Amino acid sequence: MDILITGGTGAIGRVLCRKLKEKGHGLTVLSRRPEKVRAICGEGITAISSLEDLRAAAHFHAVINLAGEVVIGPYWTENRKKVLWNSRVTLTEQLVEFIGRTKIKPRVMINTSAVGYYGNGGDNIMDEESPGSGGFAHTLCYGWENAASHVKGFGVRLCIMRFGLVLMPHGGILKSMLPLFRFGLGARIGDGQQWMPWIHYFDLVTMIEFLLEAEELSGEFNGVSPNPVTNREFTASLADHLHRPAFFFVPASLLKLVMGEMGQMLLDGQRAIPKRFQQAGFVFQYPTLDSALTEIIG
């Protein structure tokens, strides 16, 4: 396949690009740093800095949209929210407009979203049919998915992947957690009862490949493991794998005071499961948190 990828230099994108390239696919990566794409994603990849660099005659069999500024970072001021919105929703709108201009449409578009779409689900098990609710995180995911939905009007098969918390050695949530836990400063968040729908990066990349090839599948898919855990369980397991204590906790009131809406998102949880992937026969390489952390940490 010839595939157009946005966000290819991100933590997941770079792994996906190398894996797709190894399988013989032709890749074009949209990046704000086109000069660094080959060094990050591998040789033999076409790099562009704007969709304007592509002509209407450009033909891609698939489009994978992974672009988006990191949500957990700078305080959610109105300007920061605009940055997050533009990096996801506005870019997706531009991507769909580009597809609309092409003479030959791609067969499939895989668009990223997140389990934040569901808001705080408490202890309820949440699959792809569960309703969404909540604050800015839900609004952002809803806008993102809605922008992508217009590609169906061009006859393109659309798959929306709602990512969980990605576990990987040098990215995802472990990038900031591992240094603290290695110094024995690991801490649960609030009472630790909120659910954490996680996913090993290898399984997530394999899920994307699975959707590329499964022409009968479309719609929403939870990109999570079949075994979500609570924050308390996650904290204890990570500390155990590192042979360190984890006695501390961050009070919910302090988190909300310091981080505002972003802090509340960390206190919300989703007991999300990958029901549609399981129904489709997807096989997880790392279905349990123990197996995932053992592979990543050793």
Placement of tokens 């605009």 in the chain: 82
Q: What pLDDT is stored for residue 32 in this prediction?
A: 86
Q: How far apart are CA 209 and CA 215, in angstroms?
A: 11
Residue 60 lies in a domain: yes
N-term to C-term CA, the chain? 35
Are the C-beta atoms of residues 54 and 30 closer than 8 Å to each other?
no
Residue 222 lies in a domain: yes
Residue 190 lies in a domain: no
Query: How many CB atoms sit inside 10 A of residue 73's CB?
Result: 12
Residue 109 lies in a domain: yes
Structure tokens at 203: 């399984």
- CATH number of domain containing 111: 3.40.50.720
Residue 52 lies in a domain: yes
From first to last of the 298 residues of the chain, give the pLDDT tens digit: 999 999 999 999 999 999 999 999 999 999 988 899 999 998 999 999 999 888 877 899 999 999 999 998 888 999 999 999 999 999 999 999 999 999 999 999 999 999 999 999 999 999 999 999 888 999 999 999 999 999 999 999 999 999 999 999 988 899 999 999 999 999 999 999 999 999 999 999 999 999 999 999 999 999 999 999 999 999 999 999 999 999 999 999 999 898 988 999 999 999 999 999 999 999 999 999 999 999 999 8
Residue 142 lies in a domain: yes
Number of domains in the chain: 1
Residue 152 lies in a domain: yes
Q: What pLDDT is stored for residue 136 in this prediction?
A: 93
Q: How far apart are CA 281 and CA 228, in angstroms?
A: 19
Query: What is the DSSP secondary-structure string of the chain?
Result: -EEEEESTTSHHHHHHHHHHHHTT-EEEEE-S-GGGHHHHH-TT-EEES-GGGS-TT---SEEEE-----SSSS---HHHHHHHHIIIIIHHHHHHHHHHH-SS--SEEEEEEEGGGG---TT-EE-TTSPP--SHHHHHHHHHHHHHHGGGGGT-EEEEEEE-EEEETTEETHHHHHHHHHTT--EEETTS-SEE-EEEHHHHHHHHHHHHH-TT--EEEEES-S--EEHHHHHHHHHHHTT----EEE-HHHHHHHHTHHHHHHH---EE--HHHHHTT---S--SHHHHHHHHH-
Are the C-beta atoms of residues 121 and 270 closer than 8 Å to each other?
yes
Question: Each residue of 266-282: b (16+ CB within 10 Å) or e?
Answer: bbbbbbbbbbbbeeeeb
Q: What domain range is 105 assigned to?
A: 2-167+197-228+271-286
Residue 91 lies in a domain: yes
